[in-house]
Structure 1
């Protein structure tokens, strides 16, 4: 089993960029206060979003004004704890049903939604199930992306977090542990992840910053260049996707704060 341990910023270049100022481009629907992910597919102009644990089994399509243009029920799935979205080059959408707040869950799943469109009302998902490798304790997972036909899932930890690798194939798999890593500083929980269309840049979201990973080889993501982009405010940011030189971010609506769709232009 391939396993790369990097408990400190070893073999990496860590640079801190100037503070980012995400621009609010839309208010999200108040009927969706707990949006936990955002993704854009290659075959739709909509932003696809979901809500996390305790909410319904629907996938919503939003336009850039935040208006709901699609509402799709996933008929054969329950929202145990939907945490993130990713997509493939063919326009298919994947839901990460792997949230684990109490850290008792040991079986997880990824749902494949074939080419979602605004006209769809109901879909049947395909399932990729996975369990943890031996000697890996249950963690809370909130972030993933698809790269070279494998899913990379990140645990939500303030200190050392792990990265798992799962093949994009229906059926049941044992995840592969590929790294353990720690960002410098405190409060570094990863809440969502995204990868650029060319596979050269990765974005890992936190409530008050986003990390950009680049210049890595294969899936040694933390052995390249790591840049931190601090935001000018802190809210419960839970979703990120990247489109060309821009990232789009969502935050939950709590205590009359957040509930927005943000756009941040990258250098």
Structure 2
């Protein structure tokens, strides 16, 4: 039996061993037409909801309410939206914008913008740049079986930003690579922490957003139609986490997830032919 067949069988066995649960999204509201492509979302300690849009949209962050209505918008000074894909926050209230969308795996200018909490009171807040590169990537783009370096999900924990890459490999391997970079201004080579196998279906198993619960005990990795809940981990090693798969029962392009509290998630989707442009809540058991 060839090595390729053995790898394929291993992936199938792992996928079959993972029980899938049904999730029920509770629609909270609909975003206005100017927010058709919400790609990242985060909630502050005070309950404020911030969202961003991805490539082709303005260099702004938006504060919305639970109905999806815009309450304010802030243009980020010296920050260009090449492909903003996720949003996270630290315990001090500093916001981080991940400009690391990389569909073709060809970018060499990956950056995370750090917006200090005290800048959020300004109409055009300043942001620090955290530039980084993936040490495993040698070619731009790499061969099709090595397309691991698109990114749409990250979160903050203990002075680091943890990054989960979006797999675009062909044939599809089902793995997300995990990295971290310091949360301070500078230029870094991202620290490789390992890989995580989610499942073998490319349509449902590629990470589109990530977050960690306020108590630090659960990680949510979003994909198209699924959310993967990781528990029983000890940072910085997430590779041995227990994984619970929840099928969200939707065909819309789900792009954003964040914890509203330890027991619930906020989820947003982009507008496509199936609908979308909505804000949802998912209660966790």
Please report the TM-score for the alignment, with normalisation by the length of structure 1: 0.90
Mean Cα displacement is larger for which, 146-155 or 130-139?
130-139
* 1:177 lines up with 2:192 in the alignment: yes
Q: Contact (CA 8 Å) 1:61, 1:118: kept in 2 or not?
A: no
Superposition deviation, residue 52 in structure 1 = 0.1
- Name the counterpart of 2:275: 257
Flag the 1:172–1:36 CA change in 2: closer, same or farther, 3 A: same
Runs of at least 5 residues in structure 1 that lack an aligned partner in the other structure: 1-6
Q: Contact (CA 8 Å) 2:164, 2:178: kept in 1 or not?
A: yes
Superposition deviation, residue 211 in structure 1 = 0.2
* 1:34 lines up with 2:37 in the alignment: yes
Larger radius of gyration: 2
SS in structure 1 at match of 2:249: coil
Give CA-to-partner distance per residue, 1:200-221, whole Å, 9 cap, x none.
Answer: 1000001111000001122221
Q: Give the distance between the partners of 2:90 and 2:122, measured in 1 at CA.
A: 19
Q: Give the distance between the partners of 2:183 and 2:69, measured in 1 at CA.
A: 31
Q: Give the distance between the partners of 1:148 and 1:172, measured in 2 at CA.
A: 19
Superposition deviation, residue 117 in structure 1 = 8.1
- Name the counterpart of 2:106: 104
Superposition deviation, residue 15 in structure 1 = 4.7
More helix by share: 2
Tell me: higher relative CO, structure 1 or 2? Use CA pairs within 8 A at least 6 residues apart: 1
Q: Contact (CA 8 Å) 2:252, 2:274: kept in 1 or not?
A: no
Give CA-to-partner distance per residue, 1:99-131, whole Å, 9 cap, x none.
Answer: 011211123111111227875321111111111
Please list, as runs of the form range in 1=range in 2, the aligned pairs for 1:48-197 lying within 5 A after superposition. 48-115=50-117, 120-135=122-137, 139-157=149-167, 159-187=174-202, 188-197=205-214
Q: Give the distance between the partners of 1:199 and 1:219, measured in 2 at CA.
A: 12
Q: Give the distance between the partners of 2:284 and 2:184, measured in 1 at CA.
A: 33
Give CA-to-partner distance per residue, 1:170-203, whole Å, 9 cap, x none.
Answer: 1111101111232233121100000011211000
More strand by share: 1
Q: Contact (CA 8 Å) 1:60, 1:70: kept in 2 or not?
A: yes
Give CA-to-partner distance per residue, 1:215-264, whole Å, 9 cap, x none.
Answer: 11222213021110111222101100012200000000123600100000
Q: Contact (CA 8 Å) 2:76, 2:124: kept in 1 or not?
A: yes
Flag the 1:10–1:111 CA change in 2: closer, same or farther, 3 A: farther
- Name the counterpart of 1:241: 258
Q: Give the distance between the partners of 1:140 and 1:264, measured in 2 at CA.
A: 26
Q: CA RMSD in A?
A: 2.2
Please report the TM-score for the alignment, with normalisation by the length of structure 2: 0.85
Runs of at least 5 residues in structure 2 that lack an aligned partner in the other structure: 1-9, 141-148
Q: Give the distance between the partners of 1:156 and 1:197, measured in 2 at CA.
A: 24
